[in-house]
Amino acid sequence: MAEPAYTVASDSENTEEEKSSSTFPEIAIGIDIGTSQCSVAVWNGSQVELLKNTRNQKMMRSYVTFKDEVPSGGVSNQLSHEHELLSGAAIFNMKRLIGRVDTDPVVHASRSLPFLVQTMDIGVRPFIAALVNNVWRSTTPEEALAIFLVELRAMAGIQLKRPVRNVVLTIPVSFGRFQLTRIERACAMAGLHVLRLMPEPTAVALLYAQQQQQTAHDNMGSGSEKIGLIFNMGAGYCDVAVTATAGGVSQIRALAGTTIGGEDLLQNMMHHLLPNAETLFSTHGISEIKAIGLLRVATQDAIHKLSFQASVQIDVDLGNGSKINKVLDRQEFEEVNKKVFEKCESLIIQCLHDAKIEVEDVNDVIAVGGCSYIPKVKDLVLNVCKRQELYKGMNPLEAAVSGAALEGAVASGISDPFGNLDLLTIQVTPLAIGIRADGGKFVPIIARNTTMPARKEMTFTTVHDNQTEALIIVYEGEGQQNAEENHLLGYFKIVGIPSAPKGVPEISVCLDIDASNVLRVYASAKHRGPHQKAMPSMEVRMPTVDDGHGWCAEALHRAYGSTSDLVTVQKKI
């Protein structure tokens, strides 16, 4: 599958880069690209420091405007007014859109954003465009993210007085491997080299591990194991992690994540305030975009205020004859978003269950991310965890980026005389990986929450007599029964299976995730008897599927039906 060619931005810095790299090791910076805000931090030799832009901001809005010939992002650009972001010229929520196909409900929900998100509903990349001089100019989430990252890179370079190349990026737990390749591509387009992609709550867990290690040092204690539960909810995603930490080692026991966040709260509220919002805005005319923008700003503002006061007055004139005048209180807000909060609760419960940890054994409950300021969110976390109070000592907006900066320093081989960088994260797989077998079912080979690196093997057999070929279709997902509900990573064919009655041949499939989180799939048909010539086995690096994975699965099914299916071999005891 042909990759479009991209030119790496700012090649001009290369000579300078080579000069400096010989004198001192480059410390990788940590970047937290949020759905709504973004921040950058670096280990400054003694501690983690957040970098500020020219307007002295540590938190920068994640968006790109295509107003003029040269697009500009939220790092350098000064918005004259919030409404400018909502004029159609700005692309935001890149992190919600990246690597998703147009059948994804998240993409569908994004159609009410004040820029163009067009879907064909056939399982391909959605069409995204910004309004420039009354023309919808197409772009992609990767491109928008890359433009933004170029600005971040330049800003960090100025602050650190050196070119920046290596980064540790935080990502949502629910990101699949295909989405990770999109993030990596955006980074490559921006001239950044990704050392690690770290699930957000594991970055927070690393910061927690460091803090616990320091406390243990100060108390001259033995540093016994501590269990931390991390709940992280931002604008786009909600993640939970359970970590067991001792002596600077953060052992991730389980991860759970989903695509819910502040954006859902906002969209639910907008829909609540204006029930026919979607039909009203479907044409995306200039006046409709303006109306969405006005409603969005007013609703966002009201939600923010509800974190600090019991009720809020909303007065907004949408300009097309419809006006909203309403008093909104917390109870109504919580009722409208009941499902979102229930999902948050179930994520925590699921994560504790997967970690095999009783809630009583949790030492600290840590809530971070923008949504952790919402009283209902705080309450639900405390309730599920049966606590009176949350862990203090972390800035909810800075925890993830600080952890990423720590990982950046560790991964760059930097050591600290005080032992503050004697840290290690033992990661787990956030999603299960397996193949389609047993009649269209998803059979996980590497289960969710398996410690990485990992290598697991399973044996399958044929479903037809004298079946000589088998299709290995690899999926990744939360372990839904039906293979099609998971994300397709790739597929290939095993040929030369010895002719035999069904159920006799043995086909072994081995999945290997190496130290760099690269997934390889090995498969081979076993041969008995010395005179039989062995067929070469297969090694396939995944994901191999580029865009349009919805398409591929369907086409495969049409072309092959069940002729090349496999079933699991019952385990011998």
Could you count the other beta carbons within 10 Å of the beta carbon of residue 292? Answer: 23
The answer to whether 355 and 451 have CB atoms below 8 angstroms apart is no
Locate 115 and state its tokens.
């820029």
| The only residue of 76, 119, 459, 568 in contact with other proteins, by rule CB under 8 A | 459
Query: Is residue 426 involved in binding other proteins (CB under 8 A)?
Result: yes
510: contact with other proteins by CB under 8 A:
yes
Q: Does 251 bind other proteins (CB under 8 A)?
A: yes
The nearest distance, CB 184 to other proteins, in angstroms, is 19
Q: What distance in Å separates the CA atoms of residue 225 and residue 361, rounded to the nearest whole number? A: 11
* 14 lies in the binding site for other proteins (CB under 8 A): no
Our CB check for other proteins shows the closer of 249 and 382 to be 249
Question: Among 109, 117, 93, 126, which residue's Cα sits nearest to residue 548?
Answer: 126
Q: Contact between 249 and other proteins (CB under 8 A)?
A: yes
Q: Which candidate, 50, 15, 58, places its Cα nearest to that of 29?
A: 50
Q: Which residue has the tokens 């999945």?
A: 511
244 binds other proteins (CB under 8 A): yes
Q: Tell me the two tokens of residue 272.
A: 């609540």
Residue found by looking up tokens 């409900």 in the block: 105
> Total number of residues binding other proteins (CB under 8 A)?
36
Nearer to other proteins, 70 or 515 (CB): 515
CA distance 99 to 115: 18
Q: Single out the segment in contact with other proteins by CB under 8 A; choices: 26-34, 233-241, 367-375, 524-532.
A: 524-532
The piece of 12-20, 226-234, 471-479, 518-526 that touches other proteins (CB under 8 A) is 518-526
Q: Based on the shown chain and the rule CB under 8 A, indicate whether residue 526 belongs to the binding site for other proteins.
A: yes
Helix (H, G, I), strand (E, B) or coil at 536: coil
The SS3 call for residue 378 is: helix
Tell me, letter by letter, the H, E, C secondary structure of 486-517.
CEEEEEEEECCCCCCCCCCCCEEEEEEECCCC
From the list 332-340, 479-487, 523-531, 542-550, the region that binds other proteins by CB under 8 A is: 523-531
- Looking at residue 85, its amino acid is L
Other CB atoms within 10 Å distance of the CB of residue 176 = 23
Q: Per rule CB under 8 A, is residue 358 in the interface with other proteins? A: no
C-alpha span between 450 and 465 (Å, rounded): 35
Report the residue number, 123 or 434, with the smaller CB distance to other proteins. Answer: 434
Q: Under the criterion CB under 8 A, does residue 188 sit at the interface with other proteins?
A: no
Stretch that binds other proteins, among 211-219, 307-315, 332-340, 446-454 (CB under 8 A): 446-454
Residue 345 interacts with other proteins (CB under 8 A)? no
Applying CB under 8 A, the residues found at the interface with other proteins are: 224-225, 244, 246-249, 251, 410-411, 424-426, 451, 453-455, 457, 459, 506, 508, 510, 514-515, 522, 524, 526-527, 534, 536-537, 539, 569, 571-573
